[in-house]
Amino acid sequence: MRGITGLSTSILALILAATSATAVPTLQLNIEGATYYDSYVIDDGAGNTFTVNESWFTMDNPFVLDVVGADQPDAITNIQDVKLILSVQQQFWNPAGSVTINGLGDVSGTSATISAADFTLGMPEPFDDKTFPSHGVFPAYYYVLGLSPLLVDDPAQREPVYDYNAGYVPGVSTPSGFGDIQQYQVAYDGFFHVHFDLTGVAYGTGKWADGVSKFSPFSHDADGPPGPPIPEPSAALLFVTGLTVLLVAITRGKRHRAIRTGNRET
């Protein structure tokens, strides 16, 4: 019995270790100073709306975009063919729009200005044995920008990385692994909303890191609309309901006061 208990404990420890090891995606995007939303609605005020799920949102323009490659869970040493995919939904398209990206720090030599004429309407092509996920964004106007490799295991680039999801709090969260973080300043003009995805080919010692194509999970995308999101219908409904109840209470209070005043005058 003691042996079985010990074996069960060991199996549980291995399961927990595996769960912990898979906590950090190989590729991630993060906008510095942004807010994470599970779901929000973008409205340009002209009747065009779009719902974005599980993404970082900022009202800043320009803003700093972090491109992150992590070593775990697949013992990654480097990530090649890194591509940043910029997309603009059709309802927000502006043929006069543009996006400028400038590398900061160790990628300071990387810069590009992408005009509307450079975008393609459709969906990014599949890569290897994977189909690029639409996740509600595509088809859209998109542009694929090649970035510098992520040198995850290079001591000169290696630094702590976090799991940039809803639970990430700058200065409070605990690092979840190590990797390479590249920073880019992004500015856009003429576009109401720009969405970002990230792909790359990972190499390393793990079985899932031998030339395997990766993309950042939906929960680690980034968005840069210039205005605040509209509350989700549930939140808006609660607000309207509360406001209605308050107005009814005020109206009833005035009516009761008027009745009492009338009785005194009679």
For the record, the structure tokens of 53 come out as 């799920």
Judgement on whether residues 244 and 149 belong to the same structural domain of the protein: no
For residue 123, the model assigns a pLDDT of 94
For residue 16, the model assigns a pLDDT of 39
How far apart are alpha carbons 162 and 176 in whole angstroms? 5
For the record, the structure tokens of 196 come out as 């970002």
Judgement on whether residues 58 and 142 belong to the same structural domain of the protein: yes
Judgement on whether residues 159 and 113 belong to the same structural domain of the protein: yes
The answer to whether residue 10 is domain-embedded is no
Q: What is the largest CA-CA distance in the chain?
A: 93
For residue 47, the model assigns a pLDDT of 86
Judgement on whether residues 117 and 236 belong to the same structural domain of the protein: no
For residue 18, the model assigns a pLDDT of 39
The answer to whether residue 240 is domain-embedded is yes
For residue 136, the model assigns a pLDDT of 85
Judgement on whether residues 222 and 237 belong to the same structural domain of the protein: no
Into how many domains does the chain fold? Answer: 2
Positive or negative: CA dihedral 89, 95, 97, 99: positive
Nearest residue to 228 via CA among 45, 13, 42: 42
For residue 49, the model assigns a pLDDT of 86
Judgement on whether residues 248 and 116 belong to the same structural domain of the protein: no
The answer to whether residue 3 is domain-embedded is no
User: Model's pTM, two decimal places?
Assistant: 0.77
Judgement on whether residues 154 and 247 belong to the same structural domain of the protein: no
Q: Which domain holds residue 248?
A: 231-261
Judgement on whether residues 203 and 256 belong to the same structural domain of the protein: no
Judgement on whether residues 225 and 180 belong to the same structural domain of the protein: yes
For 13-64, what is each residue's pLDDT tens digit?
Answer: 433 343 444 458 899 999 998 888 888 888 888 888 888 888 888 888 999 9
Average pLDDT per run of 10 along the chain, which is 266 residues long?
A: 44 39 78 87 85 85 94 86 94 94 95 97 87 89 97 93 88 92 94 91 82 82 63 48 59 53 46
